[in-house]
Amino acid sequence: MSFHPVSTPNTDSPPSASASLTVPGCFEKKRRGEKLVCLTAYDYAFARLADESGVDIVLVGDSLGMVMAGRENTLAVSMRESLTCVRWARRGIQRALLVADMPYGSYHLGRRQAVANALRLVRAGAAAVKLEGGARRAPLVRALVEAEIPVMAHIGLTPQSLLAMGGYHVQGREPAAAIELQEDARALAAAGAFALVLEGMPRELAGRITRQLSIPTIGIGAGPECDGQILVLHDLLNLSFSPPAKFVRRFGDAAALSRAAIADYAGEVRAGSFPDDAESYHAPVPARQVISRA
Residues taking part in catalysis: 199
Cβ-contact 239, 220 below 8 angstroms = no
Contact positions with ligand KIV (CB under 6 A) in 27-46:
40
Binding of ligand KIV by 240 (CB under 6 A)? no
Using the Cα atoms of residue 18, residue 220, residue 200 and residue 29 in order, give the sign of their dihedral: positive
Is 66 or 143 the residue whose CB approaches ligand KIV more closely? 66
Cβ-contact 152, 99 below 8 angstroms = yes
Is 122 or 157 the residue whose CB approaches ligand KIV more closely? 157
Q: Would you list the DSSP string of 208-228?
A: HHHHH-SSPEEEESS-TTSSE
Taking the C-alpha atoms of residue 35 and residue 29, their distance in angstroms, rounded to an integer, is: 7
Q: Which residues contact 65 (CB under 8 A, 6 or more apart)?
A: 71, 73, 74, 75, 76, 77, 81
Site size toward ligand KIV, by CB under 6 A:
11
Distance of CA 188 to the CA centre of its chain: 21
Q: Which residue of 30, 41, 51, 61 would you call a contact of ligand KIV, by CB under 6 A?
A: 61
Count of CB atoms situated within 10 Å of the CB of 263: 10
Task: Give the shortest CB-197-to-ligand KIV separation in angstroms.
Answer: 5
Binding of ligand KIV by 58 (CB under 6 A)? no
Using the Cα atoms of residue 69, residue 75, residue 78 and residue 83 in order, give the sign of their dihedral: positive
Is 59 or 151 the residue whose CB approaches ligand KIV more closely? 59
Taking the C-alpha atoms of residue 200 and residue 236, their distance in angstroms, rounded to an integer, is: 17
Binding of ligand KIV by 125 (CB under 6 A)? no
Taking the C-alpha atoms of residue 57 and residue 255, their distance in angstroms, rounded to an integer, is: 24
Count of CB atoms situated within 10 Å of the CB of 71: 13
Cβ-contact 199, 158 below 8 angstroms = yes
Binding of ligand KIV by 237 (CB under 6 A)? no
Binding of ligand KIV by 26 (CB under 6 A)? no
Cβ-contact 194, 150 below 8 angstroms = yes
Q: Which residue of 230, 234, 237, 238 would you call a contact of ligand KIV, by CB under 6 A?
A: 230
Of 29-37, 58-66, 81-89, 181-189, which part binds ligand KIV (CB under 6 A)?
Answer: 58-66
Binding of ligand KIV by 232 (CB under 6 A)? yes
Contact positions with ligand KIV (CB under 6 A) in 178-207:
197, 199
Is 143 or 230 the residue whose CB approaches ligand KIV more closely? 230
Task: Give the shortest CB-10-to-ligand KIV separation in angstroms.
Answer: 26
Binding of ligand KIV by 151 (CB under 6 A)? no
Of 56-64, 113-121, 165-173, 275-283, which part binds ligand KIV (CB under 6 A)?
Answer: 56-64
Binding of ligand KIV by 51 (CB under 6 A)? no
Closest-by-Cβ residue to ligand KIV is 61
Q: Which residue of 149, 220, 226, 236 would you call a contact of ligand KIV, by CB under 6 A?
A: 220
Site residues for ligand KIV per CB under 6 A: 40, 59, 61-63, 101, 197, 199, 220, 230, 232
